[in-house]
Structure 1
Amino acid sequence: MNNDLIEANKYVELTYQVIDRKSGQVLTAVEYPLGYVHGVNEILAPSVMTELEGHSEGDIIEVTIDCNAIYGPRDESLVLTDRIDNVPEEYREVGTAILMENDHGATKSFLVTRVDDETITIDGNNPLCGREVIFKLEIRTVRDASEEEIKHGGKVEPGAEITSGRVVPI
């Protein structure tokens, strides 16, 4: 274990859980270490990235986030119930994502939240809307990033095709 601290241009690998503060339920878990170069790309919410600074390998930290501040309050007009016969069979399972388009061509993802013999309910709110969550992060690796890793924002595997982009799970 090294004593490097998380700061700009450090390569960091971590795992995390997103836990509903009220129920204690684990909403999301990333068990395979997620790697990035700190200060080069933001892979998590800015408040989480800020909290990671100054920590080192082996640390476990918890960051509370009010999802209303990120996604706004729940909008009940985005919760729709329809007769199950009106929905194709492949969408009739709780947890299925359905991409819908409005009259103006804008798309929005809805999640199937309830299915019974006669009806199906879909919800266009982000699943974290209205929740307060705890990000529990376990820091697995902290080291100096190579110039190539800094350029690409993460670990560069031999023969891998590099594409740039932001990954923001929350």
Structure 2
Amino acid sequence: MPEKIEDNKYVELTYQVLDGKTGQVLTGVEFPIGYVHGANEVLSPAVADELASKSAGDIIEVPIDGDSLYGPRDESLVITDYIENVPEEYRELGTTILMENDRGETKRFLVTRKDDTTLTIDGNNPLCGREVIFRLEVIKVRDATQEEREAGGKIDPGPDLTGFALKGRLRELH
């Protein structure tokens, strides 16, 4: 009998986020992601609830209001400026720009529009104001180890650095 998703189970899945109106794929993961069900908030509560009791091979679709995940769209986070005021490395559509305010708080902005004279960046999450569908395929379900439960996901071994003089190498790089 296949194992069912419940708290303290290690789960691997793939997902796609689809536009609820057009069905267009907005984003997704190519390689499975792993997490421990109930140990962290890696998924929205609505998605986690729908995954409960599912097994490897199951595919689910969960409609989500983007505003419920990321808050309503804030037009004050959309900034348009003359392109000559923007550094060259930030002039490509899709570029992410990390900006900091006077209080040291950071926020990610995405270059969303560009023409011959202006460039627009947007600090809203791209899913704000959209109805989306999370399509998830469960790849694996098993008991999580104690270490995975504590970490909230799979523990991958680090690289084997045997014989590598890390401290000396770091000095060489500087």
Structure 1 length normalisation: TM-score?
0.87
Q: What is residue 59 of structure 1 aligned with on the other side? A: 58
SS in 2 for 1:32: coil
Q: Deviations over 1:80-120 (max 9, x none)?
A: 11110000000000111112223333322211001111110
Q: What is residue 39 of structure 1 aligned with on the other side? A: 38
Q: What is residue 86 of structure 2 aligned with on the other side? A: 87
Alpha-carbon RMSD: 1.8
Q: What is residue 171 of structure 2 aligned with on the other side? A: none
Shift of 1:152: 2.4
SS in 2 for 1:111: strand
SS in 1 for 2:34: strand
- Residues paired across the two proteins, number: 160
- Is 37-46 or 113-122 further displaced after alignment? 37-46
Q: What is residue 69 of structure 2 aligned with on the other side? A: 70
Structure 2 length normalisation: TM-score?
0.85
Percent identity between matched residues is 69
SS in 2 for 1:150: helix
SS in 2 for 1:51: helix
The structure having more radius of gyration, on CA atoms, is: 2
Runs of 4+ in 1 over 6 A off after TM superposition: none
| 1:150 counterpart = 2:149 | yes
Distance 2:90 2:67 in 1: 28
SS in 2 for 1:69: helix
Q: What is residue 164 of structure 1 aligned with on the other side? A: none
Q: 1:149 to 1:100 in 2, by over 3 A?
A: closer
Q: What is residue 12 of structure 1 aligned with on the other side? A: 11
Distance 2:153 2:76 in 1: 40
SS in 1 for 2:147: helix
| 1:131 counterpart = 2:149 | no
Unaligned runs of 5+ in 2: 160-174
